[in-house]
Amino acid sequence: AKNLTGYKNLIKLVTASYLEGFYYKPRVDRELLRAHSDGLICLSGCMGGELSRAIRSNDPERAETVAREYEEIFGVGNYFLEIMHHPKIEGLLETRAATIALAKKLDIPLVATQDAHYLEAEDAKAHSVLIAVQTNTDVGDAAIFKEEGEDFSFIDANTAKTYFRDAPEAVANTERIAEMCDIDLKLGRWVFPKIEVKKGKTLDEELQQLAYEGATRISYLMTEEAEKRIAYELGIIKNKGYASYFLVVADLLRYAREKGILTNTRGSAAGSLVSYLTGITNVDPLAGKIPFERFLNPERPSAPDIDMDFADDRRDEVIQYAREKYGEDRVAQIGTFGTMLARGAVRDVARALGYPYATGDRISRLIPLGSQGFPMTIDRALEMTPELRIMYESETDTRTVVDLARKLERCARHISVHAAGVVIAPEPLSEFVPLQLDPKGGKIITQYDMHAIEDAGLLKFDFLGITNLTILGESIRLVKHLRGADIDVNRIPLDDEKTFALLARGETAGLFQLNGSGMTRYLKDLQPNDINDINAMVALYRPGPMAFIPDYIERKRDPNLVQYLDPRLKEILEPTYGIIIYQDDILLIATQLAGYSWGEADRFRKAVGKKIPQEMAAQEKRFIDGCIQNGMKALVARQLWEMIETFAAYGFNKAHAASYGRVAYQTAYMKANHPIEYMTAILTAESGDIEKVASTITECKRMNIAVLPPDINESYGDFTIVSSGGAELQEVVRFGLHSIKNLGTEITDIIIAEREKNGRFVSFSAFLERVRHRNLNRKSLEALIKCGALDVWGDRGILLASIEEALMYNKETQRQEDGQDSLFTLMDDTATVPKFKLAEAHAALPEEKLAWEKEYLGLFVSGHPIDKYRRALERFKMSIHDVLQLKEGITVVIAGVIKEVRQILTRNGEPMLFLQIEDHSDTIETVVFPRTLKEHAELFIMDNGIAIQGRLSERNGTKSVVCNTAKALSAQKLTLAPTQA
């Protein structure tokens, strides 16, 4: 592109090639080129280009026509004929000579280029591997690497002059082209979506009106403080020109609320009263003492960033609304580039080099997992893992794989859709960024990632799908359906006794941000009775600040322990008992006690958070001097600096904690006040994750909520609350029909629709008569029977034996009702289909029923194989789920049933085992080494009940128990000491 017009035309061409011309690869035709040629320079291409193909086909007339046509499209002086120096490529030297001759004949300038696929010549092998990864082949495939030995690296100027000494003007023209390109991209200048307001009204006036209307809607007490805060915030928003951004976000969230889609907003936006009154956030910053300046301040250069959370099952509805409201061509999800991380790079390289799968697997398993935002690198893995380092130093194959993987890690592997990012532009997006289709889902996405999008001046809107909002929404729907009560979770009391009692008891399973053994233990110690306690725990329960939780708990219990270095700190730190928890605390201390401006305070926050030595030294002097100038003693100022230095790296965004703390409280409120509805909503939301369903059912049992297998007359698609129908009416939860494997949603929906229309199925024969669908076949009937959905009509074993008769009956009744001849009427036109009878067969054994439930529902429902060991298990204080929450290295005892036995041989040829041990709560891997196996070989058999004592180990995020000794659960005396928490 020569200029901005050319840049925009290039974007349009790339976009059109992906959205309109994609056929195996993105393509453009001459018509498109003519329409968007202004401001562009075109080169004739490599050996695969149209001109070179004509020359290689010995068609000089065609070559001349091609060259003249492209020169006519782009204009004289904007089209160049390429020549290259790759002597090992067949036919290139002849093509090059012909191109030089054609350039002279047509007076079209030459330009020297190279196929540069990598930077240095020694990267050739890594490039070959990368191509093999892309094409899912290996480097031995000659079809891919025909030009073996050719150099496709980037060359310097001197090399270029040597390669093209027969055409020096071609080298000179590379500089000429560079000089022709004079583009001034207006980076960093924000462009906002267009939003319509009433004629004669400005965007700022519209936002002000929306804020005051919101205050009326929620009956907000408009104090003098609130009036001043609104005016102050609106003034900054106006000066920054951000009103349209707030109006768009408010509009999106308004739409979601009107459609019953639960929302939340994260991040510092909850520090804005304007955001609260316009319905953007659900946290009152005045009540929570959250400063606006952490979100926006006069000196902050970056644009506002409001992260919107939606119920994940309805997020796409809001994105579609944005498309319809602001224009299909102006809204797109943002692309993101998946890169080759250390583990994946090792596996890919090993496969591409033709090594057995086990080679790559063995190496990659030794690479530790990274953490969010801090991916593991191969260099770090070599430092952290002695075993990997020894293999690298002693094994040639390992060194080859690791060295090549090191070159490839962090290379882009694919483009996909950003988890949350959506861009909304004031004009068609192709004026700003290139677009393409998501390779997997077919959605239009940007080819720029989120960082480039922001550089281009477009604002990223975060639409994040949150499962917990889906759970809240479904539980509210169930309460409305079953009780006729409307619940607005943003208006529930924040001092509900049941809610805080539930948290104080540690009943946190299924809660947002508050579950897990560590958090549960702290909540039981804390005995929270205020929403601020929940916010603080959300902020503190992270690596680093977790060390301060005991102090927080002690100070809450005994206010006398709270002391302030300076009396002015009380106003800032009183809600957190004198502990610096939030980044906002640091901002307020810097501005109120050290005299910082808000811009300086924001830079101060970032500097002490990142702990950059040079910046820290400068900030230390500035902070202490500022405190002294504001009346603080030098010693106290230094102590305050040291206090900030300790906490700053762990400081949490107060608005973010308040937003997440509010959702955490809402989930606790629903569990405490509407337990069966809330737990049913969790089961439905997590129905695709068997492990989560199993742990949720365990919690239901603890809560005395029965979860039963599916029932043909009671179950719907999702988990359902029904009456047990016993002497004492009690509500229970039924599995949904969609949970049954091999059934399919089509036949499920047919069954439910027929039942809703014409009532319950009174018998198996009535079911067979009424449900007419091709998918009511052996496979689906077997699934319904084995999972227990048809238990109301007889034993599963007898029903299974009756399947052939049932299918015949279903088929014949359909024929007769449709007026067709059946097997019986062909023999006697007065005959009718015989009455359906169940076969005579043996009832299913309890073990069979449980095995079928596991097969078709993914877990045991009506019982558990371990039930027969219940008395033996009573002495074990901790379940497998509890053990999995403990730290590695301690000695534990687990008890359960062996559900998988895998034997391998050690290097010495001795057998060892990997077991999967399961109880009611979870499953854990157990490693049995040869010596222990010899001592207890008779115990390690499938379905045996067993108690194992061993060391808790963790590798790559997965915990296991290394068995020291074992006992049969059926043994009369179990002498293994139970695990101590």
Q: Judge if 687 and 564 occupy the same domain.
A: no
List C-alpha distances in Å: 976 to 454, 678, 949. Answer: 61, 38, 7
Where is 450: in which H helix or E strand?
Answer: helix 450-455
Sequence letter at residue 902: R
Q: Are 418 and 335 in contact (CB under 8 A)?
A: yes
The DSSP secondary-structure symbol of 834 reads P
Whether residue 761 is contained in a domain is answered as: yes
Whether the per-residue pLDDT at 365 is higher than 80: the answer is yes
Q: State the pLDDT at residue 304.
A: 83
Q: State the pLDDT at residue 973.
A: 52
Q: Judge if 576 and 696 occupy the same domain.
A: no
Cβ within 8 Å of residue 683, ≥6 positions away? 693, 696, 697, 700, 707, 719, 733
Whether residue 626 is contained in a domain is answered as: yes
Whether residue 152 is contained in a domain is answered as: yes
Among the residues of 802-874, which ranges form H helices?
803-817, 846-857, 870-873
Q: Are 888 and 847 in contact (CB under 8 A)?
A: no
Q: State the pLDDT at residue 60.
A: 92
- Round to the nearest angstrom and report the end-to-end CA distance of the chain: 67
Query: Could you give the CA distance from residue 701 to residue 711 in angstroms, rounded to a whole number?
Result: 19
Q: Positive or negative CA dihedral for 685, 691, 694, 696?
A: negative
pTM of the entire structure? 0.84
- Region 872-888: what's the mean pLDDT? 83
Q: Judge if 748 and 853 occupy the same domain.
A: yes
Sequence letter at residue 725: G
Whether the per-residue pLDDT at 103 is higher than 70: the answer is yes
pLDDT band of 148, cuts 50, 70, 90: low
Range name among 132-136, 286-290, 758-762 with the lowest pLDDT average: 132-136
Q: Are 689 and 739 in contact (CB under 8 A)?
A: no
Q: State the pLDDT at residue 933.
A: 93
In the chain, count of helices (H) and strands (E)?
42, 18
Whether the per-residue pLDDT at 972 is higher than 50: the answer is no
Query: Could you give the CA distance from residue 89 to residue 257 in angstroms, rounded to a whole number?
Result: 63
3-state SS track over 136-190: CCCCCCCCCCCCCCCCCECCCHHHHHHHCCCCHHHHHHHHHHHHHCCCCCCCCCC
Whether the per-residue pLDDT at 824 is higher than 60: the answer is no
Hey, which residues does 961 pair with through a beta bridge?
Answer: 926, 952
Q: State the pLDDT at residue 302.
A: 78
Least Cα distance to 156 among 177, 142, 171 occurs for 171
Instruction: Specify the number of domains making up the chain.
Output: 6
Cβ within 8 Å of residue 484, ≥6 positions away? none
pLDDT digits 0-9 by tens, 569-593: 999 999 999 999 998 999 999 999 9
Q: Are 861 and 853 in contact (CB under 8 A)?
A: yes
End residue of a domain, out of 431, 465, 491: 491
Whether residue 723 is contained in a domain is answered as: yes
Return the CA Rg of the chain: 35
The pair of three-digit structure tokens given for residue 360, joined into one six-digit string: 């790559």
Whether the per-residue pLDDT at 188 is higher than 80: the answer is no
Query: Could you give the CA distance from residue 587 to residue 599 in angstroms, rounded to a whole number?
Result: 10
**Cβ-based neighbour number of residue 334 at 10 Å:** 24
Q: State the pLDDT at residue 833.
A: 55
Q: Judge if 9 and 109 occupy the same domain.
A: yes
Whether the per-residue pLDDT at 150 is higher than 80: the answer is yes
Q: Judge if 136 and 212 occupy the same domain.
A: no
Q: Judge if 147 and 175 occupy the same domain.
A: yes
Among the residues of 497-558, which ranges form H helices?
497-504, 517-526, 531-540, 549-557
Q: State the pLDDT at residue 976.
A: 56
Sequence letter at residue 523: L
504 versus 608: the higher-pLDDT residue is 504
Q: Judge if 171 and 319 occupy the same domain.
A: no
Query: Could you give the CA distance from residue 651 to residue 648 in angstroms, rounded to a whole number?
Result: 5
Query: Could you give the CA distance from residue 631 to residue 566 in angstroms, rounded to a whole number?
Result: 10
Where is 432: in which H helix or E strand?
Answer: none
441 versus 727: the higher-pLDDT residue is 441
Q: Are 531 and 661 in contact (CB under 8 A)?
A: yes
Whether the per-residue pLDDT at 159 is higher than 80: the answer is yes
Query: Could you give the CA distance from residue 670 to residue 667 in angstroms, rounded to a whole number?
Result: 5
Q: Judge if 411 and 480 occupy the same domain.
A: no
Q: Judge if 324 and 387 occupy the same domain.
A: no
Cβ within 8 Å of residue 669, ≥6 positions away? 489, 492, 496, 498, 499
**Cβ-based neighbour number of residue 913 at 10 Å:** 20
Whether residue 320 is contained in a domain is answered as: yes
Whether residue 980 is contained in a domain is answered as: no
Range name among 370-374, 469-473, 657-661, 716-720 with the lowest pLDDT average: 370-374
Mean pLDDT over each residue of the chain, to the nearest integer:
89
Query: Could you give the CA distance from residue 706 to residue 683 in angstroms, rounded to a whole number?
Result: 13
pLDDT band of 826, cuts 50, 70, 90: very low
Percent of the chain with pLDDT over 70: 95
List C-alpha distances in Å: 839 to 478, 771, 778. Answer: 40, 21, 16
- Given the structure tokens 């009391």, which residue do they identify? 493
- Region 340-349: what's the mean pLDDT? 92
Q: How many residues does the chain have?
A: 981
CATH code (residue 170): 3.20.20.140
Q: Judge if 720 and 838 occupy the same domain.
A: yes
**Which bin fits 699, alpha (ψ -120 to 50), beta or left (φ > 0)?**
alpha
pLDDT digits 0-9 by tens, 888-945: 889 999 999 898 899 988 878 889 999 999 887 788 999 999 999 999 999 999 888 8
The DSSP secondary-structure symbol of 955 reads E
Local structure of 790: helix, strand or coil: coil
Percent of the chain with pLDDT over 90: 62
Query: Could you give the CA distance from residue 743 to residue 864 in angstroms, rounded to a whole number?
Result: 23
Query: Could you give the CA distance from residue 746 to residue 610 in angstroms, rounded to a whole number?
Result: 55
Q: State the pLDDT at residue 774.
A: 85
Q: Are 868 and 861 in contact (CB under 8 A)?
A: no
Query: Could you give the CA distance from residue 15 to residue 335 in angstroms, rounded to a whole number?
Result: 13
pLDDT band of 142, cuts 50, 70, 90: very low
- Region 692-696: what's the mean pLDDT? 89
Sequence letter at residue 952: L
pLDDT band of 729, cuts 50, 70, 90: low
Whether the per-residue pLDDT at 182 is higher than 60: the answer is yes
- Region 812-831: what's the mean pLDDT? 59
Sequence letter at residue 697: I
Q: Judge if 473 and 540 occupy the same domain.
A: no
Q: Judge if 209 and 166 occupy the same domain.
A: no
Whether residue 97 is contained in a domain is answered as: yes
List C-alpha distances in Å: 914 to 858, 878, 900, 905, 927. Answer: 21, 22, 8, 11, 5
Domain range for 895: 865-968
Sheet containing 720-723: order of strands: 707-708, 731-734, 720-723
Whether residue 975 is contained in a domain is answered as: no
Query: Could you give the CA distance from residue 974 to residue 803 in angstroms, rounded to a whole number?
Result: 46
Whether the per-residue pLDDT at 236 is higher than 50: the answer is yes
